[in-house]
Structure 1
Amino acid sequence: MTAATLPKPDHRSIDIRPGRALGKLELGELWRYRELLYFLILRELKIRYRQAAIGAAWALIQPIMTVAIFSVVFGHFAKMPSGGVPYPIFAFTAVLPWMYFAEAVRRGSTGLVADSDLIRKIYFPRLLVPLAMVAAPLIDFAAGFAVLLVILAFYQVPITLYILLLPLFLLVALSLSLSVALWLGPLSVRFRDVMHALPFAIQVWMYASPIAYPMAIVPERWRLLYSLNPMVGVIEGFRWVLLRDGHPDFRAIAISCVIISACLVGGLVYFKKMERSFADVI
């Protein structure tokens, strides 16, 4: 074989760079890397309960103990109204989505820093990290929901067809968790103060949400302002589909959905803008 017949070397190369167009979110990449998303979720679950003496039972103990404390302090001593339903059920229907939201926000907002070694070494859609962190607590939610069904049966509270709307409000809670994580995740990469301030902010947010008390005790003139808290609509929706407790504040639910949609879209754009610097700053 002569030199003239030898194949010419291929000098072409592929340069992978993050997109600079803010509108180009490249969400199709998430589907191509769906198996990685599955393994990230599985890894997160293993890390959470690895070397835990009682393992996944913590997913049951935490909401049960929280509801027990609320029932004693707010239900028994403070005599907080519960709309005619037993206070433990009233509290549980709000504690369940709240604990999912709080855990999803905590993990999603700090996931980029926790996976810094992975981010520096290989390329994959960085959006998978907050997605996995927000999806993993759904397992805990499912375990807590099973306990709630047992409590509903104990108090002989009937389950109606409205429960079929529960996945819709769970999706709203997931969207809210993801939107917060998309904003705080990039900030925590640059400023570690986010990791320190987050537990306090979540605690304040809890007391600003109708978990231990009904929305009805909020004065009418403050209802609109109070409804700007997007968790108000989520909790109102959960209580409505599970308890049929009168008519929920559909205005609060609508306001929550609008705010969450805006925050989610803005968070996606902000996350894509900032991800080009993750590997350098983290």
Structure 2
Amino acid sequence: MANKLGPSSIFSSLLFFSLIIGTTLAARNLNDNVFEWLKKDHRGLPRAVIHVSDLDRSIRFYMQGFGMKLLKRRNFPDRQYRDALIGFGPQNTHFLLELRQRYDSNDVFIGTEFGHFGIATQDIYKTVEKARANGALVIHKPQKVNQTIFAFVEDHDGYKFKLIQRTTSSDPLVEIMLHVQDLNTSLNFYTKALGMKLFERQNNSTGQIVLGTLGYGVNPSKTTILQLEKRKNIPRDDGRDGYSMVYIGTDNVNKSAEAAKLVMKELGGNLIIEPVLFSNINVKLTGFTDPDNWITNMVDNKDYQRGTL
């Protein structure tokens, strides 16, 4: 004969299931609130970090070859490197490159995973010649494809720069391109975890997505964009000690980390820096990797504007 549940047992069971449902709904509401907040967060791409073999040489080349400005030089004995901040304008309004040279080694391995940085110019022929005259290797001479004239040059460490003909650009450093394994997963990650807008998809002849252009704002030609390209038939290179990371500004580091954690459970990636205030520079940030182990650091907007990072 089947056991019959008494009133107290039925009540306990109902209470147990109501607690589960309540907890689930509360978690869902919390998740929804985080993602709703993310849509309103003020975000941008302020800086990328790369390692160089000779800091003085890189500074000289980027200034003379591309016309960038040296904004700051620093030395960090406790971290075993020195660096320089360089770009086409001030930190508060322009995308910067942070060049780092290690104390213990001058070797830099870029590999096949990093794609290029993009620089907009009003006279691509003059820019190519200026870069070449200062030591750049011209990989592709200026050519016109789909109404856009572009060229590729390479610096002494092997970093590639795509030079793009444009009549106007508020900040000439306009593009970062990285290779990824699964483009759909990566595009989902950057739109969900980082709140980026997918500006454009490019398909190959079979209809497969091979390139995605993402960023913040409404006009990709007026901001620094991130391009993700599906890795072609080349072996994956995990050296990656050249290109290091990108910074993204946020109004709330803690909420940004919460959103990233939720997306990482679904799509992959790892939290590598819990939200923390670095008291020596008074900057709050958090850091994580995407499904391809590319590193992103989220930094508090107000802290970044102070210029101590």
Query: Which is strand-richer, 1 or 2?
Result: 2
TM-score with structure 2 setting the length: 0.23
